[in-house]
Structure 1
Amino acid sequence: MEYALPQEAASAGRARKLTSAFLVRPHRRKTEVSAERVDDATLVVSELVSNAVQHARGGCRLRVEVSGGRVTVEVHDASPVRPRARRASTEREHGRGLAMVRQLAHRVEVIRMERGGKKVRAVLA
């Protein structure tokens, strides 16, 4: 599944709904996605899309794939700036998203795109 999302706060909620619907809907795949994995994937999508629409120029593209028991989430945006994980703090309202993504994902990668921008990929095993 792949969707283009505009640069607006509502995109994170839309991305959660799209991801959840995609992962729970029966497909022609052999691997079923557990309810826990669906929850983890929707949280990862929400955090990555929120970061993209808040910090990048323009909207973003969301891609979700299920293959071999893994859920892979990719968010592409136009900003070349790599996301940074901040130390957790009870005083700050923002800045914990990437750390949360790293806790939930088996692997997180930031890939610089040739035509500009970047892709953040999180693989949930």
Structure 2
Amino acid sequence: MGEYGTGPGEQAIRTTVALDGDGTDIARARHLAAEFLIGARDEHGLRVSRRGVDLTQLVVSELVTNARKHAPGPVLMALRIDGDTVEVTVWDSDPVLPEARAADPGRVGRHGLEIVRAVAQHFEARAEPVGKRVTARIALTEDPSSGAVPRGRTR
């Protein structure tokens, strides 16, 4: 489930999946993200906290939901571990870049981008020749002394 070797002496762990819009995309993407992180921990000895897995699944859920809601056609999701973070990238065919709305505690729903920006260390949305690419970077652990997710468990 990974691809290796991005730089001298560095190992990149990454995966990409096409989501076709069959109604199970969001749950499937969340599950794949958890499997990816647990696999990185188990196979490569990386520190991955329960919080890191949970936040990654939250970000994946929000980004894939937005892509499915606003763009026709397939969605691509890529996950890449870079040092002590996981980079979540979602591509869709809609060229309109997402914009965070002003905070409004009375608004029901439509808080996904606010949530992603609040939990991510980095957020970026870029126009592509076709559609857009939205990327968020999430910490794998809260700090070096945080507890890792026990083997075989994601929650």
TM exceeds 0.5?
A: yes
Q: 1:2 aligns with which of 5, 16, 24?
A: 16
Is 1:40 the equivalent of 2:50? no
Identify if the C-alpha distance between structure 1 residues 91 and 7 changes in structure 2 by more than 3 Å, giving closer, same or farther.
farther
Alignment-derived partner of residue 27 in structure 2: 13
Is 1:27 the equivalent of 2:43? yes
Structure 1 runs (4+) deviating above 6 angstroms are: none
State the alpha-carbon separation in 1 of the partners of residues 32 and 68 from structure 2.
16
State the alpha-carbon separation in 1 of the partners of residues 135 and 43 from structure 2.
22
Aligned residues: 123
Equivalent residues in 2 for 1:1-125, closer than 5 Å: 1-25=15-39, 26-28=42-44, 30-114=45-129, 116-125=130-139
Query: Contact 1:9–1:50 at 8 Å: present in 2 too?
Result: no
How far the C-alpha of 1:27 sits from its partner, in A, is: 2.7
State the alpha-carbon separation in 1 of the partners of residues 102 and 54 from structure 2.
24
Identify if the C-alpha distance between structure 1 residues 14 and 88 changes in structure 2 by more than 3 Å, giving closer, same or farther.
farther
Q: What SS does the corresponding residue of 1:27 show, helix, strand or coil?
A: helix
State the alpha-carbon separation in 2 of the partners of residues 48 and 106 from structure 1.
15
TM-score of the pair, normalised by structure 1: 0.90
Q: Deviations over 1:86-120 (max 9, x none)?
A: 23445433210000000110110001112x11100
Q: CA RMSD in A?
A: 1.5
State the alpha-carbon separation in 2 of the partners of residues 18 and 93 from structure 1.
28
Bigger Rg, which one: 2
TM-score of the pair, normalised by structure 2: 0.73
Query: Contact 1:85–1:95 at 8 Å: present in 2 too?
Result: no
Q: What SS does the corresponding residue of 1:73 show, helix, strand or coil?
A: strand
